[in-house]
Amino acid sequence: MLTALITGITGQDGLYLAELLIKKGYRVIGAVRYQGSPVRLAPVLLDNIELVDWDMMDQDRMVAVLKEYHPTEIYNLAGYSSGARMYDDPIAMQEVNGLAITRMLDAILQVDINMRFCQASSREIFGEADESPQNELTKAGPRSPYGWAKLYADSNICTYRQKYDIYACSAILYNHESPYRGLEFVTRKITYEAAKIRLGLAEELYLGNLDTSRDWGYAGDYVRAMWLMMQREHASDYIVATGKTHSVRELCEVAFSHLGLSYRDFVRVDASVYRPSEPILLVGDATKAKNELGWAPTITFNEMIKMMVDADIDRLKKL
């Protein structure tokens, strides 16, 4: 039986990846900070996942876990998220999102070089990109602690792959959403507040720049790309993106109209959080993933937003 170790298993991507691997017959090991802490997993997943204590700062613990469970594949989805609070603790950001990946790679070398490793990287490595769309050869230029940490991890993955012939790859993920997305992200904030307004639990929604655009995809599609990356004969890095952008305004239109409402009646612009649009559009060119992995998105932007709205309506009704 193939065994997969997933860090960050309680997050959006971890939930979808665990579900995917369980369906494929994997033994799934969920690496969490403390086994006794609350875990956001559906019962069907909890019944099929083994949880183990994991510390991104403790390489000895990493080595012990790898020796005990000997995973065939390791997916690193753990770390601090991007967003407004990414500047709160830039040192911890570099430690967990950057240096910790080097610890994991070194732990693999100590235990078994045949273990395969996949890192959840980010479009934030491009930051102030000099071209659009971006592909795997686009020059990196992070402009945040998050982006720099991800680039540091990607660079070390490339170094370890070349120096030790280890199977290690980076999935350069563009924005990806789902009903499991946290409320701190604008997509979920919009779908959740739209649902509240529809149910009479709120009256207005305040947002920043409605013309800001993102390359938004579905998280379930993106973790499938990561799995496909791990099945190749040789490791390589891939852009995972839809290649299409949508504005916050379009997102509002889809979410509110799905509930029979017009966003113009409820959405207000908050000047205090207004940010100008990026000079270079960050949109991914996933041609390499399409040609080499046979990967393509299956859920459209509109379908994803409607799915999120429906899930939030159900949550609120239960409350």
Examine domains 3-176+218-240 and 180-215+244-280+299-318 and report if their fold is the same: no
Q: Domains of the chain: which residue ranges?
A: 3-176+218-240, 180-215+244-280+299-318
* Cβ neighbours for 120, distance < 8 A, ≥ 6 positions apart: 8, 13, 75, 76, 77, 79, 171, 173, 226
**34 has a pLDDT exceeding 80:** no
Name the DSSP letter for residue 269.
Answer: E
Please report how many Cα atoms fall inside a 13 Å half-sphere around the Cα of residue 202, on the Cβ side: 18
CATH number of the domain located at residue range(s) 3-176+218-240 in this protein:
3.40.50.720
Report the range of poorest mean pLDDT among 33-42, 145-154, 194-203: 33-42
Locate 113 and state its tokens.
């070089």
* Cβ neighbours for 99, distance < 8 A, ≥ 6 positions apart: 152
**CATH architecture under which domain 180-215+244-280+299-318 falls:** Alpha-Beta Complex (3.90)
Q: Give the residue among 100, 97, 104 at the shortest CA–CA distance from 148.
A: 97
**11 has a pLDDT exceeding 50:** yes
> For residue range 224-234, what is the model confidence (pLDDT) as tens digits?
999 999 999 99
Q: What is the pLDDT of residue 38?
A: 46
The beta-strand segments (E) located in 102-175 are 116-122, 168-173
H or E, element range at 308: helix 301-318
**273 has a pLDDT exceeding 80:** no
> For residue range 130-180, what is the model confidence (pLDDT) as tens digits?
899 999 999 999 999 999 999 999 999 999 999 999 999 999 999 999 999
Question: Which residue(s) pair with 53 in the sheet?
Answer: 32
Catalytic positions, please?
122, 124, 146
Q: What is the pLDDT of residue 40?
A: 60
